[in-house]
């Protein structure tokens, strides 16, 4: 899970950087840019939760991050 989420962080960050300059001029591109940023942040949360669970065994990190991701999705919609 951690490796896949790290790949997602990398890919979403690269796509966000690619879209950033065009996002200033085009509302549709801005929407895609913000979506990619949200995905990158969500994937970073998954990485953090995975690391916490792997090293401490505190499985509560997974549902807490899931709730934060759900709130991010609710806010962004």
Q: What CA–CA distance (Å, rounded) separates 46 from 50?
A: 6
Q: How far is CA 72 from CA 40, 49, 56, 75, in A?
A: 12, 16, 26, 5
7-64 per-position pLDDT tens digit = 999 999 999 999 999 999 999 999 999 999 999 999 999 999 999 999 999 999 999 9
SS3 content of the chain, % helix, strand, coil (to 5): 90, 0, 10
Whole-number pLDDT of residue 3: 96
Residue showing tokens 């200033």: 24
Model's pTM, two decimal places? Answer: 0.86
Hey, what are 77's tokens?
């919609």
User: 10 Å Cβ neighbour count for 58?
Assistant: 12
């Amino acid at each position: 899970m951690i490796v896949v989420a790290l790949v997602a962080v990398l890919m979403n960050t690269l796509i966000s950087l690619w879209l950033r300059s065009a996002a200033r001029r085009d509302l549709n591109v801005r929407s895609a840019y913000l979506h990619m940023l949200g995905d990158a942040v969500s994937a970073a949360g998954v990485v953090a939760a995975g690391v916490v669970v792997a090293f401490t065994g505190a499985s509560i990190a997974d549902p807490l991050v899931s709730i934060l991701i759900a709130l991010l999705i609710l806010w962004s919609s």
